[in-house]
């Protein structure tokens, strides 16, 4: 009988461990890091907020620059641009349904970002990717070394940090 009670107790405890990941409802975490894109190396800072079981909403600000030389009509030019991105994102976290241990966090979602562009070239032409509004998708993961600190890797498309971003996460 003692073994049965112990097995049931361990089952409830382990279920509680899985339920703690990734971010509890009302929980907040900060993210920061660098990204890869087709034009420059973006730096980003973000915040995620647990709105419901397995769902988070967040915001992000990013900054990147691009400096590209080009040749046109027998002349050499230099193209410079900067972009500041102000975005919002929503993610679903798969830990509970995939039974992933609490030190990992696997998620996917969508984002909407508004870009503020500044560019300078010979003819003051806009950057080829200079749309003001970007709708994108992402898939990512985190590994937590402690209950509060981890690293993150995210792959995405159609955003200022398109390609990938890598950074750190701090749970508050």
pTM listed for this prediction: 0.76
- The CATH topology of domain 2-171 is Porin (2.40.160)
- Of the ranges 1-10, 15-24, 140-149, which one carries the lowest mean pLDDT score? 1-10
Q: What are the structural domain ranges in the chain?
A: 2-171
Q: Tokens 């800072």 appear where? A: 45
Dump pLDDT digits (tens) for 43-82: 999 999 999 999 999 999 999 888 777 777 888 777 777 8
- Of the ranges 32-36, 86-90, 111-115, 159-163, which one carries the lowest mean pLDDT score? 159-163
What is the distance in angstroms between the CA of the first residue and the CA of the last residue of the chain?
Answer: 41
Q: Tokens 């200022």 appear where? A: 160
Is it true that the peptide bond before 22 is cis, omega within 30 degrees of 0?
yes
Which residue in 46, 45, 51 sits closest to 23, CA to CA? 51
Which residue in 35, 60, 69, 49 sits closest to 154, CA to CA? 35
Q: Is the pLDDT of residue 15 over 70?
A: no
Q: Tokens 């030389």 appear where? A: 69
Q: What is the mean pLDDT of residues 88-113?
A: 95
Q: How far apart are CA 70 and CA 75, in angstroms?
A: 8
Query: Contact 29/41 with Cβ under 8 angstroms?
Result: no
Query: Contact 22/93 with Cβ under 8 angstroms?
Result: yes
Q: How many helices (H) and strands (E) does the chain have?
A: 2, 8
The DSSP bridge partners found for residue 50 are 56
| b/e 98-119 (16+ beta carbons within 10 angstroms → b) | eebebebbbbbbebebebeeee
* Residue 45 structure tokens: 């800072």
- Of the ranges 3-7, 43-47, 93-97, 150-154, which one carries the lowest mean pLDDT score? 3-7
Most confidently predicted of 22-26, 31-35, 38-42: 31-35
Q: Is the pLDDT of residue 13 over 70?
A: no
Give the H or E element holding residue 57: strand 55-72
């Amino acid at each position: 009988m003692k073994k049965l009670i112990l097995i049931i107790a361990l089952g409830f405890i382990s279920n509680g461990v899985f339920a703690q990941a990734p971010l509890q409802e009302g929980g907040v975490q900060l993210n920061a890091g660098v990204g890869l894109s087709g034009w420059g190396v973006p730096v980003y800072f973000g915040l995620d907020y647990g709105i419901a079981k397995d769902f988070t909403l967040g915001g992000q600000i990013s900054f990147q620059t691009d400096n590209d030389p080009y040749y046109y009509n027998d002349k050499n030019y230099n193209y410079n641009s900067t972009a500041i991105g102000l975005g919002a994102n929503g993610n679903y976290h798969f830990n509970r349904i995939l039974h992933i241990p609490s030190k990992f966090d696997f998620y996917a979602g969508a984002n909407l970002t508004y870009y503020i562009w500044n560019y300078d070239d010979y003819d003051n032409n806009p950057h080829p990717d200079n749309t003001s509004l970007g709708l994108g998708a992402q898939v990512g993961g985190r590994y937590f070394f402690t209950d509060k600190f981890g690293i993150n890797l995210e792959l995405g498309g159609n955003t200022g940090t398109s390609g990938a971003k890598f950074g750190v996460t701090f749970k508050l």
